[in-house]
Structure 1
């Protein structure tokens, strides 16, 4: 079976994911052929040093948002000779490995069968998220599903793709959010088929996946609405 390269990103100023990474490091390193991560320059020094001692190829970048970090790690990962890639937000990967490691291993094993695999959440996994995430992401996913012509959960922070698809994404990605953009680039510009899989492991744990900062309930809803609009508009216009 061809090996899969992991692409991931993190911004973790408090080092909240250090202990969980320690527990899962060996499993993650064994699962992938190569590992690439972009780390914001505001991330905990202890976590950065841990990553640099691990099997990860580490690139420290200025904090300029999730989309830019994802594009950076894709370009970084293309330095490898891999033919297959798994992108997953670092906190999502840790949550997945913590409680559903076998499912993660099984999912990685099928990635070489796909040009682009959208990885979404089961209904149970979706319902572990804060209500403002669930409600706004349902709107985003409805619009993306209309544009793709099939029902998908596009906002779970994970996907897999071939080298051919990676090259298309690397050439054309430029939007403020990549969740829908990458899939649209592959389908509309690359003319490649997309596949879809739901998993239990992309569930929400407050300690691992929670957003830093103190916000009122209204501010939380407004922040998620803004994300929903950006991703939805990207799904509509990319590649047209």
Structure 2
């Protein structure tokens, strides 16, 4: 039977996810053969110690952006024995596990069917997000869908892949944001079919998935637009010969 590892990243200076993690810890641990997390050195001591006390293999890393953290956890996960990997942003995993635990369990059991699987949001789950997320991510998802030849939601913070795909990602990933880049590495460099599945559990909850710092409305829109540009550009150029 194929083993599926969970690989996650987090940056949590205020330890906002400690209580929810403790509530869901046993359920998370029961879903996977191995668990790996990279956590920024700027995260609170309390959450670092809490995670150390769980079944997670933990690696403290410098805060250097989402892409760097995600690459570190892929490399970390490859040090284990699992055949497949489920990547999920930590806050996304917690809300998924809390509100849709049965769906998550089913998804994990199906992961060995795919060399690469994009996990996106149903229309209902997408519409739980702030409007600046919804509108700007429409652009990214449209561009990525064109590049993949399939309608996808690629910006939900979760995907799964085989060890073969993970090894390619570990070798070739270099972008600031990896949402589209990893799928394109699997498709264009690995020659693997990239599948897509929308789920309910990647919905948005302000208390868990929202920003901890206050910014203006225009900054909210601009920051999401900038992310859209970075992810979209990687979808177009990754895996193509110069």
Range of TM-score over shorter length: over 0.9
Match of 1:183 in 2: 183
Q: Give, in whole Å, the separation in 2 of the partners of 1:15 and 1:212.
A: 11
Q: Give, in whole Å, the separation in 2 of the partners of 1:144 and 1:212.
A: 29
Task: Give the aligned length.
Answer: 240
Q: How does 1:99-138 map to 2 (within 5 A)?
A: 99-138=99-138
Q: Give, in whole Å, the separation in 1 of the partners of 2:90 and 2:97.
A: 11
Q: Give, in whole Å, the separation in 2 of the partners of 1:141 and 1:195.
A: 14
Query: Unaligned 5+ residue runs, structure 1?
Result: none
Q: Give, in whole Å, the separation in 2 of the partners of 1:213 and 1:91.
A: 16
Q: How does 1:35-46 map to 2 (within 5 A)?
A: 35-46=35-46
1:75-98 Cα distance to aligned partner (Å, 9 max, x none): 011001111000000000000001
1:28-78 Cα distance to aligned partner (Å, 9 max, x none): 001100000000001111110011110000000010011100000000110
Shift in Å at residue 4 of structure 1? 0.6
Q: How does 1:1-240 map to 2 (within 5 A)?
A: 1-240=1-240
Q: Give, in whole Å, the separation in 2 of the partners of 1:25 and 1:141.
A: 32
Query: Unaligned 5+ residue runs, structure 2?
Result: none
Shift in Å at residue 3 of structure 1? 2.2
TM-score by length of 2: 0.98
Shift in Å at residue 211 of structure 1? 1.5
Show structure 1 runs of 4+ deviating over 4 A. none
Is the partner of 1:50 in helix, strand or coil? helix
Q: Give, in whole Å, the separation in 2 of the partners of 1:211 and 1:111.
A: 30
TM-score by length of 1: 0.99
* Structural RMSD (CA): 0.6
Q: Give, in whole Å, the separation in 2 of the partners of 1:186 and 1:213.
A: 35
